[in-house]
Amino acid sequence: MSILTIKDISKRFPGTLALDRVSTFFESGKVNALIGKNGSGKSTLVKIINGAQPATSGEIYLDDERMEFSHPDEAIGKGIATVYQELSLISGMSVAENLFLGRFPMKGKFIDWKKTYDMTEKLLKGMKIDIDAKEKIYNLSMWQCQMIEIAKAMSTDPKVILLDEPTSSLSKAETEILFDLIKELKKKDVIIIYITHRLQELWEVADTCTILRDGVLVGKVDMKDTSKKQILGMMFGEVEVQRRPEDLVHEDRVVLSVRNLTMGKKVKDVSFDLYKGEVLGIAGMLGSGRTELLRAIFGIDKYDEGEIIFDGKAVKRPTPQKMKEMGMGLTPEDRKHEGLIQIASIRDNLCVASLKRISNGLFIDKAREEEFVWNQVNRLQIKFGDIDAEVSSLSGGNQQKVVVGNWLNNQPRLMMFDEPSRGIDVNAKQQIFKIMWELSRQGISSIVVSSELEELLEVCHRIIVMRYGKITDEVIPEGTSIEGLYSICMGGE
Amino acid sequence: MGSKANRLALDKIFKKYMMEILLVIMAIILSVSAHGFFTPNNLLSIFRSMAINGVVAFGMTMVIIGGEIDLSVGSTIALSAVLTAFVSNKLAGVGVAPEFAVVIGIAVSLLTGALIGFINGFIRTRYKIPSFIITLAMLNVIYGVAAVLSNGFPITISSEWYSFIGAGQLFRGENFQGIPVPGVWLILVFIAVAIVMNRMRFGREVYAVGGNPESARLSGINVNKVKIVIMMVVQVLAAFAGIILSSQVMAGSPQFGKGYETDIISAVIIGGASLNGGIGKTRGTFIGIIFLGVILNGMTLLGVDDYVKYIVRGSIILFAVLVNTIQLQRKDNE
């Protein structure tokens, strides 16, 4: 039996206090859930425990030993293993090679393969994982990879294992298998810390639950005598949701109809209508198919079945180019890799989608380009030193404004925003909301995907909820609380 | 503070015009040390000697800014030279006037260039295979076709006017050898590519596609089309270079153009284009071409051994890539 004690841990980032004197403890032989909404500080706490970031103040003890690391490798040496959400396996290598990479059993100068495979088989058998040690990673499915990641973490004989949202990209059946594995881990004398977004999982797999909110420890409870309502209350506290301006109404005319859209396992039989001037939110947990739905509609990824009717016209085999010409725009989730050309200037990035509009025939009209660029700079209040500087020199919020401005320059009739507020400051966030409302007043519809539920409640006329690729519910912000919406996203009542 | 700002400004100017400054320094050194360097005739001959590589280098600039590469251009120079000769001889053989037959030969060569570029671009975009390996393979295929067509021997061209394209002189005087026509082609191609890249929508699309193909696609740019077109442009220009070269010797040989891709790509890199795509200037390539021409010409005048020239050529590429990379890394760290 061992205990990981967190004592008065604080973490200060420029401008924010991410963790404020958090004290708690985690015991071995139990699954200790750690929850909190986005920005509650749970990821920061994980990073401090596993040495990825130093704490500003406070101490961590494993039993009686003080844990202090300058590098994650040191944490692993002390018996603290982490399984991250993003898989880190090398797909061209076998299971055994991945498990013992960098620490193969040796016979002189050569790798002792027989021993490697024997050790792998023993390890997998001990955890009741039925995967061949010689199987290549690329032949495994997501949940199998996730189990191998856990096996890899366990192969170092850790005293503490941190599981960072291991189920976020798994289906329900796959999640069950993973839970069996976690229950198996409980039999070993290891402290399991389980980070999740998915509330309903807690009663299935966790014994205790530690709740953080805005960097403060709200409480630690035993699962068996806690209700969902109590936990939701602790997660969200008393927040007053901002409401959108009163004058924001949409027309009854449908601009976009999506019918029975299906794309692999990610989007299943999705149908909805969007009205002229409406701001429609899509809520759902990570991996619920929100982003994939937007990508399918915009023609970024090919869908298998279904119909998209935009402005009364059925769209056949959409591509971003075709959808742009029809009057759609999309600001992608991954601003850095999909939204911007990092090495290009702010000026150039503001006109990538509207090259046709700033051209007379084949030639660029520099005067019109200038007008387009400065229009958006003023409208979105983009702050920069030099318009010809690389866009990567801007802050996150200003970069996001450039992404939005790039599309507004094309005068869309429908904008799709995928996680528009990720990694941006409050002011930039408010400005982007204002743009959505302004568009709405002009009769331009928006679809907003966001993990921040209070944002959706603030911005949207209507919110549809996705779960495992399907639309499971639809709510209007009036009369819906954050807890309520969260609960619906989780699939609860 | 003031002097610091001045120094920074100076630093910026130096960085921006580094190649120009180096070029001037080199020219001064050569004027003093190499006899006959700084004469109108010699300077014009640099132009003539660099025209063939230079014409292709402007196409290569578009390809490299677009995030691709074409290693097969040297072979296309050979094929185009052979093909022009082959087609015009065959046509002359069935009674077409040689002056006209060669026109058809030129047209066939240029179209063949376009076709090769299309094949390169199509494989690149349809199957997502790196252009590096496609064009490396094509380098051999195209050379092979040129050798098969010509049985490995040069084919002579008999149309009189044809020599004007590669060997013509404009405004020839008593002490003046005249402006070499290939130099005129070089300038014309430079102007055309500069207009496309700086003034036209297509040029912007090339920069966007090279800078980040996924962002460009999501901004509704037809990435595949852009890539195919630039791969075609460089091949058509390579075919044109083959025509200039064959016109200089009035023959087409499969041995033409061998290894030219090195000088062509060096000129683009010296000009500041990034092999990662998205960065580069047509003007830079122009400087790169002159730079390379001056060095090669200077070495010839100084009587430097031909084999040593290879060492210098190779080193220049490495040096140029190093300077570009270090500058980019510094920028990242700022």
3-state SS track over chain A: CCEEEEEEEEEEECCEEEEEEEEEEEECCCEEEEECCCCCCHHHHHHHHCCCCCCCEEEEEECCEECCCCCHHHHHHCCEEEECCCCCCCCCCEHHHHHHCCCCCEECCEECHHHHHHHHHHHHHHCCCCCCCCCEHHHCCHHHHHHHHHHHHHCCCCCEEEEECCCCCCCHHHHHHHHHHHHHHHCCCCEEEEECCCHHHHHHHCCEEEEEECCEEEEEEEHHHCCHHHHHHHHHCCCCCCCCCCCCCCCCCEEEEEEEEEECCCEEEEEEEEECCCEEEEECCCCCCHHHHHHHHCCCCCCCEEEEEECCEEECCCCHHHHHHHCEEEECCCHHHHHCCCCCEHHHHCCCCCCCCCEECCEECHHHHHHHHHHHHHHHCCCCCCCCCEHHHCCHHHHHHHHHHHHHCCCCCEEEEECCCCCCCHHHHHHHHHHHHHHHHCCCEEEEECCCHHHHHHHCCEEEEEECCEEEEEECCCCCCHHHHHHHHHCCC
Report the candidate in B137, B147, B94 with the shortest Cα–Cα distance to residue B116. B137
According to the model, what pLDDT value does residue B265 have? 95
Give the span between the Cα atoms of A50 and B193, in whole angstroms. 55
According to the model, what pLDDT value does residue B334 have? 53
Does the CB of B64 have a partner CB in chain A at under 8 Å?
no
**CATH superfamily, region A254-490:** P-loop containing nucleotide triphosphate hydrolases (3.40.50.300)
Give the pTM.
0.86
The verdict on residue B234 lying in a domain is yes
Q: Which residues of B touch A415 (CB under 8 A)?
A: none
Q: Which residues of A touch B194 (CB under 8 A)?
A: none
Does the CB of B325 have a partner CB in chain A at under 8 Å?
no
Mutate to test the interface with A, among B197, B205, B215 (most CBs of A within 10 A): B215
Q: Which stretch of DSSP H or E encloses residue B223?
A: helix B223-249
Report the candidate in A287, B132, A110 with the shortest Cα–Cα distance to residue B123. B132
A168 has a pLDDT exceeding 80: no
Does the CB of B156 have a partner CB in chain A at under 8 Å?
no
Q: How would residue B45 be classed by pLDDT, with cut points 50, 70 and 90? A: confident
A87 has a pLDDT exceeding 80: no
Do the domains at A3-236 and A254-490 have one common CATH topology? yes
Give the span between the Cα atoms of A247 and A58, in whole angstroms. 49
CB of B54 closer than 8 Å to CB of B235: no
Q: What percent of chain B stands above pLDDT 70?
A: 98
The verdict on residue B3 lying in a domain is no
Averaged pLDDT, A373-381: 95
**Overall size of chain B counted in residues:** 334
The verdict on residue B179 lying in a domain is yes
Say if residue B269 is exposed, middle or buried (CB neighbours under 10 Å; 0-12, 13-18, 19+). Answer: buried
According to the model, what pLDDT value does residue A492 have? 61
Does the CB of A339 have a partner CB in chain B at under 8 Å?
yes
Q: Which two tokens stand for residue A475?
A: 């709510």
A24 has a pLDDT exceeding 90: yes
Q: How would residue A202 be classed by pLDDT, with cut points 50, 70 and 90? A: confident
Helices B18-33 & B282-301, crossing angle to 10 degrees? 20
Distance from CA of A407 to the nearest CA of B (A): 8
Q: Do A342 and B212 touch (CB under 8 A)?
A: yes
Q: What is the mean pLDDT of chain B?
A: 92
Half-sphere exposure of A427 (CA within 13 A, CB side): 7
B322: three-class secondary structure by DSSP: helix
Q: Which residues of B touch A406 (CB under 8 A)?
A: 219
Q: What percent of chain B stands above pLDDT 90?
A: 71
Q: How far apart are the first and last CA of chain A?
A: 38
B20 has a pLDDT exceeding 70: yes
According to the model, what pLDDT value does residue B140 have? 97
Q: How would residue A493 be classed by pLDDT, with cut points 50, 70 and 90? A: very low
Give the span between the Cα atoms of A401 and A420, in whole angstroms. 9
Which CATH number, 1.10.150.120, 3.30.70.250, 3.40.50.300, 3.40.50.1820, labels domain A3-236?
3.40.50.300
According to the model, what pLDDT value does residue A207 have? 93
Beta bridge partners of A310: A256, A313
Q: Which residues of B touch A344 (CB under 8 A)?
A: 207-208, 211, 278
Does the CB of A353 have a partner CB in chain B at under 8 Å?
yes
Q: What are A44-73's pLDDT values in tens digits?
A: 899 899 888 899 999 999 998 998 888 888
CB of A95 closer than 8 Å to CB of A155: no
Q: Which two tokens stand for residue B51?
A: 């025209």
Higher pLDDT, B326 or A96: A96
According to the model, what pLDDT value does residue A454 have? 87
Which region among A164-178, A258-272, A383-397, B127-141 has the lowest average model confidence (pLDDT)? A164-178
Say if residue A241 is exposed, middle or buried (CB neighbours under 10 Å; 0-12, 13-18, 19+). Answer: middle
Q: How would residue B222 be classed by pLDDT, with cut points 50, 70 and 90? A: very high
Which are the contacts of B282, defined by CB distance < 8 A and separation ≥ 6?
B58, B61, B190, B193, B194, B197, B198
Q: How would residue B268 be classed by pLDDT, with cut points 50, 70 and 90? A: very high
According to the model, what pLDDT value does residue A68 have? 86
B111 has a pLDDT exceeding 70: yes
Q: Which residues of A33-59 are buried (b: 16+ CB within 10 A; e: fewer)?
A: bbbbbebbbbbbbbbbbbbbbebeebe
Averaged pLDDT, A256-272: 95
The verdict on residue B149 lying in a domain is yes
Q: Which two tokens stand for residue B295?
A: 């060095």
Give the span between the Cα atoms of B207 and B230, in whole angstroms. 11
Which region among A35-39, A232-236, B21-25 has the lowest average model confidence (pLDDT)? A35-39
According to the model, what pLDDT value does residue B118 have? 98
- Residue-range domain boundaries for chain A: 3-236, 254-490
Q: What are B3-18's pLDDT values in tens digits?
A: 667 777 777 777 778 8
Question: Could you tell me how many CB contacts below 8 A there are between chain A and chain B?
Answer: 75
Mutate to test the interface with B, among A294, A300, A315, A321 (most CBs of B within 10 A): A321
* Phi and psi torsions of B157, nearest 5°: -115, 135
Closest residue on chain B to A361 (Cα): B201
B153 has a pLDDT exceeding 90: yes
The verdict on residue B177 lying in a domain is yes
Q: What are B82-107's pLDDT values in tens digits?
A: 999 999 999 999 989 989 999 999 99
The verdict on residue B21 lying in a domain is no
Number of domain units in chain B: 1
Q: What is the mean pLDDT of chain A?
A: 90
The verdict on residue B141 lying in a domain is yes
Q: Which two tokens stand for residue A247?
A: 């004058």
| Residue B129 lies in domain | 36-157+173-333
What letter does residue B277 receive in the DSSP assignment? S
Q: Which residues of B touch A338 (CB under 8 A)?
A: 214-215, 218
Give the span between the Cα atoms of B319 and B202, in whole angstroms. 31
Q: Which residues of B290-317 are buried (b: 16+ CB within 10 A; e: fewer)?
A: bbbbbbbbbbeeeeeeeeeeeeebeebb
Closest residue on chain A to B222 (Cα): A321
Does the CB of A142 have a partner CB in chain B at under 8 Å?
no
Averaged pLDDT, A382-399: 91
A267 has a pLDDT exceeding 70: yes
Give the span between the Cα atoms of A175 and A181, in whole angstroms. 10
Which are the contacts of B299, defined by CB distance < 8 A and separation ≥ 6?
B308, B309, B312
From chain A residues 154-183, the ones with a CB under 8 A of any chain B CB are none
Measured in whole angstroms, the distance separating CA B69 from the mean position of its chain's CA atoms is 12
A40 has a pLDDT exceeding 90: no
Q: Do B200 and A341 touch (CB under 8 A)?
A: no
Q: What is the ipTM of this complex?
A: 0.87
Q: Which stretch of DSSP H or E encloses residue B169?
A: strand B169-170
Does the CB of B225 have a partner CB in chain A at under 8 Å?
no
Q: Which residues of A touch B215 (CB under 8 A)?
A: 337-341, 352
Q: Which two tokens stand for residue B41?
A: 């005739």
Strand-pair category, B169-170 with A462-467: unpaired
Q: How would residue A249 be classed by pLDDT, with cut points 50, 70 and 90? A: confident
Q: Domain of B49: which CATH number? A: 1.10.3470
- Residue A11: C-alpha distances to residues A20, A22, A214, A271 (Å): 7, 9, 12, 44
Report the candidate in B4, B9, B8, B14 with the shortest Cα–Cα distance to residue B323. B14
Mutate to test the interface with B, among A343, A386, A416 (most CBs of B within 10 A): A343
Closest residue on chain B to A336 (Cα): B215
According to the model, what pLDDT value does residue B1 have? 47
A74 has a pLDDT exceeding 90: no
Higher pLDDT, A426 or A320: A320
Does the CB of A364 have a partner CB in chain B at under 8 Å?
yes
Closest residue on chain B to A322 (Cα): B220
Q: What percent of chain A stands above pLDDT 90?
A: 59
Q: Do B204 and A343 touch (CB under 8 A)?
A: no
Q: Do A348 and B204 touch (CB under 8 A)?
A: yes
Q: What are B113-138's pLDDT values in tens digits?
A: 999 999 999 999 999 999 999 999 99
Closest residue on chain B to A365 (Cα): B199
Give the span between the Cα atoms of B159 and B152, in whole angstroms. 22
According to the model, what pLDDT value does residue A26 have? 94
Beta bridge partners of A309: A257, A314
